[in-house]
Amino acid sequence: MKAQDVRAKTDDELRDDLLALKRETFNLRFQGATGQLENTARMRQARRDIARIKTVLASRAGAAS
């Protein structure tokens, strides 16, 4: 997910994506612990996507107030 794509979404869409990514990281952690994780780079991508979404939401909240 690129930053440009994140900025184009609404706040509600971003919150939904954030929730989905948090669930995915939870599942990826379990897969890693049990040795079933095939794509180890996906964990890093998911964490960075979460950071992008949180950054955009925080900047929008700061601009609104």
Name the residue type at position 41. Answer: A
Q: Tell me the pLDDT tens digit for each residue of 4-41.
A: 999 999 999 999 999 999 999 999 999 999 999 999 99
Amino acid at 23: R
Taking alpha carbons only, the member of 50, 46, 54, 55 closest to residue 27 is 46
- Domain total of the chain: 1
Instruction: Give the domain range for residue 50.
Output: 3-64
Tell me the pTM.
0.91
Residue 21: what pLDDT? Answer: 98
The CATH number that applies at residue 45 is: 1.10.287.310
**Full DSSP string of 24-39:** HHHHHHHHHHHT--S-
Phi-psi region of 9 (alpha: psi -120 to 50; beta: other; left: phi over 0): beta
Q: Which pLDDT tens digit goes with each residue over 21-30?
A: 999 999 999 9
The pLDDT value given to residue 1: 83
